């Protein structure tokens, strides 16, 4: 029986959906690189691609990445092009069932390989919080970076998949990325829960609090949150990137938290300082990228009495301490440090962070009941 070489698939590969997704330069070099990759596999004693399995593909791909990155004669452009074609070929072989690994497992394997190399720059979007609840497990950069890596990859895979074309109308890449990253960051920083351990309480609390505090969305856009996130969760479940039972549970939790989120979003007193400042600057037509304008506006807000000056008086009164709440605080001094921490961020710090990081945390008795 003739021993098969990777170049045997060239004609079929050049007609495939994986080929048509390649960059124009990769398409021009695909024929030569498919042969080159096949020759490299042949040299290792694994020239017959029909016998490739995860035990061969993983070390072969990692070795190829390492050799390309170590050899100074290869430019970054050539490195990216070679890997792009290798990835497309492997996906094609898995989809057409010409290797001993399924399409789902191939996607997961490639995701794992990329997470273990510096091939793709990962957006480390989970930053260490200023306030850390001493009763929660310790916040660690290792866990935060790990979560950032695989959630960023989930988003990339979803946005490049056919499922993306079936997303709810009105949802774009910016929206789904903000939603997933804010849910992920808040769940870990506030509750120490990863995307694989979210609970109903955590999902609903993030929706009612952080989504309302931080997201500058219209009513219709808030109503898109549940279908947008549910659609992505469906994709993660279908591709076995997230347990299918968890996917169904998370979708129920999102639906359960929607009403409270929509109700909270009606009250500007629930908005964070960043959001209130941003909205007011937009209303006045100020340029948020102009530092001088931002600083002048921040000083004006300070001179007028702070963030509350941006809210109607009835909303300020609603969210201020009542006499009963003040007595409760004074009679429970053990909570004072926590309250001080939550109110410690000044408007000057918000301006320094380009009005994007800190929130206006408002105390309520239920936080301590």
- Map tokens 């109308």 to a residue: 169
pLDDT for the residue numbered 182: 95
- This model's pTM is above 0.95: no
pLDDT mean over 105-134:
77
Between CA 192 and CA 204 the distance in angstroms is 15
Angle, CA of 252, 253 and 258, to the nearest 5°: 100
CA distances from 207 to 51, 179, 220, 260 (A): 48, 10, 15, 8
Between CA 73 and CA 258 the distance in angstroms is 55
Report whether 257 contacts 304 (CB < 8 A): no
- Map tokens 């429970």 to a residue: 332
Where is average pLDDT lowest: 44-48, 173-177, 326-330, 350-354?
350-354
| Reported confidence tier of residue 38, pLDDT bands at 50, 70, 90 | very high
Percentage of the chain modeled with pLDDT above 90: 38
**pLDDT higher than 60, residue 232:** yes
- Other C-beta atoms closer than 10 Å to the C-beta of 103 total 17
Counting Cα atoms < 13 Å in the Cβ hemisphere of 295 gives 4
**pLDDT higher than 50, residue 357:** no
First to last CA, the chain: 75
**Buried b / exposed e along 118-145 (16+ C-beta atoms within 10 A):** ebeebeebbeeeeeeeeeeeeeeeeebe
pLDDT mean over 257-275:
86
pLDDT mean over 291-297:
77
Between CA 172 and CA 170 the distance in angstroms is 6
Report whether 89 contacts 35 (CB < 8 A): no
| Reported confidence tier of residue 369, pLDDT bands at 50, 70, 90 | very low
**pLDDT higher than 90, residue 71:** no
Per-residue pLDDT tens digits for 155-166: 988 888 888 999
Give the 3-state DSSP-derived string for the chain, with helices as H, strands as E and coil as C.
Answer: CCCCCHHHHHHHHCCCHHHHCCCHHHHHHHHHHHHHHHHHHHHCCCCCHHHCCHHHHHHHHHHHHHHHHHCCCCCHHHHHHHHHHHHHHHHHHHHCCCCCCCHHHHHHHHHHHHHCCCCCCCCCCCCCCCCCCCCCCCCCHHHHHHHHHHHHHHHHHHHCCHHHHHCCCCCCHHHHHHHHHHHHHHHHHHHCCCCCCCCHHHHHHHHHCHHHHHCCCCHHHHHHHHHHHHHHHHHHHHCCCCCHHHHHHHHHHHHHHHHHHHHHCCCHHHCCHHHHHHHHHHHHCCCCCCHHHHHHHHHHHHHCCCHHHHCCHHHHHHHCCCHHHHHHHHHCHHHHHHHHHHCCCCHHHHHHCCCCCCCCCCCCHHHCC
**pLDDT higher than 90, residue 330:** no
The mean of the pLDDT values for the chain is 79
């Amino acid at each position: 029986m003739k021993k098969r070489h990777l170049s045997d698939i060239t004609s079929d590969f050049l007609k495939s959906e994986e080929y048509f997704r390649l960059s124009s330069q990769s398409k021009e070099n695909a024929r030569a690189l498919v042969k080159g990759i096949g020759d490299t596999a042949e040299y290792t004693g694994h020239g017959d691609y029909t016998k490739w399995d995860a035990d061969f593909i993983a070390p072969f791909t990692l070795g190829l990445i390492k050799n390309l990155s170590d050899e100074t004669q290869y430019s970054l452009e050539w490195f990216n092009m070679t890997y792009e074609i290798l990835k497309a070929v492997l996906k094609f072989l898995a989809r057409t069932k010409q290797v001993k690994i399924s399409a789902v497992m191939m996607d997961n394997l490639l995701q794992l390989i990329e997470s273990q190399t510096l091939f793709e720059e990962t957006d480390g979007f989970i930053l260490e919080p200023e306030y850390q609840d001493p009763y929660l497990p310790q916040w660690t950069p290792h866990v935060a970076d790990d979560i950032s890596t695989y959630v960023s990859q989930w988003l990339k895979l979803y946005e490049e998949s056919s499922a993306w074309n079936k997303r709810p109308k009105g949802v774009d890449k910016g929206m789904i990325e903000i939603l997933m990253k804010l849910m992920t960051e808040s769940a870990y920083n506030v509750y120490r829960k990863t995307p694989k351990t979210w609970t109903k309480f955590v999902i609903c609390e993030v929706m009612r609090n952080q989504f309302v505090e931080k997201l500058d969305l219209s009513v219709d856009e808030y109503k898109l949150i549940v279908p947008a996130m549910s659609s992505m969760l469906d994709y993660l479940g279908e591709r076995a990137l997230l347990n299918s039972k968890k996917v169904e549970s998370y979708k129920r939790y999102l639906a359960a938290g929607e009403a409270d989120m929509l109700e909270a979003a009606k009250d500007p007193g629930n908005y964070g300082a960043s959001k209130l400042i941003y909205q007011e600057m937009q209303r006045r037509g100020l340029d948020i990228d102009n530092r001088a304008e931002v600083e002048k506006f921040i000083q004006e807000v300070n001179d007028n009495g702070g963030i509350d000056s941006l809210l109607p008086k009835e909303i300020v009164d609603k969210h201020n301490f009542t006499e009963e709440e003040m007595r409760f605080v004074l009679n429970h001094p053990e909570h004072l440090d926590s309250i001080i921490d939550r109110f410690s961020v000044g408007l000057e710090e918000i301006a320094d962070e380009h009005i994007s990081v800190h929130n206006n945390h408002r105390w309520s008795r239920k936080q301590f009941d």
